Structure 1
Amino acid sequence: MDSISPMTGMARSTRPNGGLPPIPEFDEDFDRLALAGRDCVVLAVSGGSDSMALMQLFASYARRQFPSLRLVAATVDHRLRAEAAAEARFVAEAAARLDMEHRTLAWDAAKPATGLMEAAREARHRLLSQAAQEAGTDLVLVAHTMDDQAETVAMRAARGEGGRGGAGIAEATLYDGATWFARPLLGVRRTALRDALKRAGGGWIDDPSNEDVRYERVRMRAMLNNEEIDLSGEAACAAAELRRALGDNAGALIDRYSTMPMPGLIRIDPAMLDAPERSAAIYALRILLSTAGGQTFLPDEGRSAQALAALAEGPARLTLAGAVAERSSGGVFLYRENRNLPARGAISPFWDGRYRIGLPDGAGMAVGETDASAVEAHVKEAPGDVPPRLARAAVARQPAVWRGGECIGLAGDVEGTTCEPVAAPWARYLPSFDLAPARAVFSLIGARAVSEPPLNGRSMRGT
């Protein structure tokens, strides 16, 4: 089990500005945040220079601009280094000097044998999101900088992840549909933050892993010079704008040409395949294929372009991204292919990348594929303009609830169970520059609505 320490900290100071020196040159970065009407903000603070600067600078800003805003610093101890506990205490002491509350969040769960860094990242976001919810907010500030942005873009380029990947880190990301992680300092160089922190009398702890060349980011950091970092930051901003514009057009196509006649079956009007905005049509098809197939990553753009061309020519059937795309007289239909479906058992956190399912505790239930009798019962309820063969294929890939060896119904239909659709590409992480296409596909499949990002309309520094 993971753990979160009890809240620690001091009462809000009654001195003007909490006794903090004003550092107004960063106000424009924090002005980007939509703070009006918020009661609380959580800051992710590890003890490194970037996050310590975020804590110092934002505390100064908030005391001057939003004096009633409650500030909570949170430090994640991944239980991977002995020094982490002392680093958390260092942050707690610094937070106390700023009259700020503090929590230590511990990842106490068993560590995986492989994929440790990815698991640690997921645990960090989960713990911070939980801490935010307990503090009564949906906003966590993190201290990514222009240096981090440049490193991310360079790493993706080295892996051949062009196109969408060139946008790098988003200025805000929605985690698990519940918590926004915002990056107000994404347009600021690390050196500028360290200089400001020194002037304010603050300090930081250098994490030895930041010098460990076994990590890709450390190696990339050593290769980038100042000019390359600045240029990469500018390029990421431009790529983000292109990705946002493409997403806007793709979202409009999904809204206009896509419907869901029954769960698990997406229908596309063939007119979308001939839309003048060909790049947007390809992008929309990639999104819809990943959603139908429950795939986190979008299919290759080249193969998707070939699929769009084949479907545009007339009757066709193909498989891509775990989904079957089939054109008939009734339109283009997308549904989950009949292989690699999850084995019957527990679900965590999503079933097949397509549904978030809730089961009552202690009911002895499991989730798996539905059986033939349930399929036939639901096919009878399909709309008349859906070919029975396609309706049968869609229902057969839906999650069913089992007790013992008996299928007792589809998830969501059985009393006490819930079945919430999710769009796999954004089920866990939704970058702010993908809001338009995400909202379009969420609306299409009946997923939960997306809250507004915690950003004002003004542009970030460097954009």
Structure 2
Amino acid sequence: MEHWDVFYHQLDRYDFAKFSKVIVGLSGGSDSLALTLAANSYLAEKHPSCELIAVTVDHGLREEARAEAVKVGQICQAHDIHHEIAPWEGEKPKSGIQQKAREARYRLLSAAAQRHNTALVLIAHNRGDDLETRAMRAQRQNKNEVAHGISEATLYRCETWFVRPFLNLEKAQLQDFLRANNVTWIEDPSNKDRRFERVRTRQDMGETASGDHLQTSDVYPEKELCAFMADADNVDFHDGDRRVVVQNFSADNAVHYEALRILLSLVGATAYLPSQNAVREAVATLFQFSDNGRKFTLNGCLMTKDRGGIALQCEARNRRDGQFGFDHILTSRYYEIALVLRERRGLSRLPPLPMR
């Protein structure tokens, strides 16, 4: 198997020495096949005691899916890679299919990791995927907000790290690698179906779009946020994380707004943080008049003006069944802040970051 140093360089960022097994999500497309074969070669050479296990999620949405999963297994067998098929069972949703399928992949790949007693799953997102994500988020946000892309690492349910070693590589590099090794990949027809937002974004941007027009980085006040959250005079927890009171809040302080976004996600148990613009509008509404007790609902939370601060409480109709939220799908960007919040609530520590 011919490998390229650029792939090994990306994989060098992860501490594979801590793991006896690693899962890789393998759909059979060019990205996941390149990641699987490159990672297998890399581990065999640099971490021979760490076994790679490829897992193909069969969503059951296309008739050909099962046969494709079997074909992928044959490719793995030819390269001496252990392969498993994880079926998405049960009734499929009529709407929001891509989001639900993504949630199913998280769940099934995490279950495979737990079954093999590992906490590390490799996912094959590339630079194009990252630019598409930024573009989609930019369309939904205020023009003054930063459109963040895909995180290099995501912690699922506080137990499984999903990492993306090839996030800085182009799809063309991955396909050239497969061609150089005479490996044929599978094309999923849904990747050209304009009913899906990501496909429309990709086609409208152009397959080779640079994304230079998108703001791709910003200065993130991690230390200031951790210090603000760690101080009980600023953030007071009641009933676990179902009610939180934020004191010493300043409408002129960007760190306080970011803290509020994080706490709204935590209390409301929603998968994503509310937009900066939505939080600013909510705060402006609460502080429009001087009297306390004013209320506003946002992100599954009831916000109440409370003696110069803001009380956040889970809405009565928000049953938090899915337990999504800040801790549920945690990007590495917020990892240090999550540690502070868990310590404040007396919860166990999270698994360490898998990057060196």
SS at structure 1 position matched to 2:90? coil
CA separation of 1:151/1:65 partners in 2, compared to 1, >3 Å: closer, same or farther?
same
Q: Which has the larger radius of gyration?
A: 1
- 2:246 maps to 268
CA separation of 1:86/1:36 partners in 2, compared to 1, >3 Å: closer, same or farther?
same
- 2:23 maps to 42
Q: What is the correspondence of 1:377-396 to structure 2 with a 5 Å cutoff?
A: none
Taking structure 2 as the reference length, what is the TM-score of the superposition?
A: 0.88
CA separation of 1:30/1:294 partners in 2, compared to 1, >3 Å: closer, same or farther?
closer
Q: 1:27 aligns with which of 1, 5, 8?
A: 8
- 2:335 maps to 435
Deviation digits for residues 323-379 of structure 1 (CA, Å, limit 9, x no counterpart): 233323xx736242664244xxxx8443xxxxxxxxxxxxxxxxxxxxxxxxxxxxx
Deviation digits for residues 43-68 of structure 1 (CA, Å, limit 9, x no counterpart): 10111111111111111111111111
Structure 2 distance, partners of 1:104, 1:167, is 32
For these two proteins, the number of residue pairs brought into alignment is 349
Name the Cα RMSD after superposition. 2.7
SS at structure 1 position matched to 2:309? strand
Q: Aligned partner of 2:305: which letter?
A: E
- 1:106 maps to 87
Q: 1:281 aligns with which of 233, 253, 256?
A: 256
Deviation digits for residues 76-117 of structure 1 (CA, Å, limit 9, x no counterpart): 100111111111112111111211100000012111222222
1:425 aligns with 2:325: yes
Question: For the Cα contact (< 8 Å) 2:152–2:164, is it kept in 1?
Answer: yes
Q: 1:144 aligns with which of 122, 125, 130?
A: 125
Unaligned runs of 5+ in 2: none
TM-superposed CA distance for 1:312, in Å, is: 11
TM-superposed CA distance for 1:197, in Å, is: 1.1
TM-superposed CA distance for 1:217, in Å, is: 1.6
TM-superposed CA distance for 1:432, in Å, is: 0.9
Q: 1:249 aligns with which of 210, 224, 232?
A: 224
SS at structure 1 position matched to 2:93? coil
TM-superposed CA distance for 1:427, in Å, is: 3.8
Q: Matched residues, percent identical?
A: 32
Structure 2 distance, partners of 1:22, 1:132, is 26
1:203 aligns with 2:179: no
Structure 2 distance, partners of 1:337, 1:122, is 23
Taking structure 1 as the reference length, what is the TM-score of the superposition?
A: 0.69
Question: For the Cα contact (< 8 Å) 2:126–2:167, is it kept in 1?
Answer: yes
Deviation digits for residues 124-152 of structure 1 (CA, Å, limit 9, x no counterpart): 11111001111111111011000111111
SS at structure 2 position matched to 1:286? helix
CA separation of 1:289/1:58 partners in 2, compared to 1, >3 Å: closer, same or farther?
closer
Question: For the Cα contact (< 8 Å) 2:22–2:52, is it kept in 1?
Answer: yes
Structure 2 distance, partners of 1:181, 1:24, is 23
TM-superposed CA distance for 1:266, in Å, is: 2.4
CA separation of 1:227/1:235 partners in 2, compared to 1, >3 Å: closer, same or farther?
farther
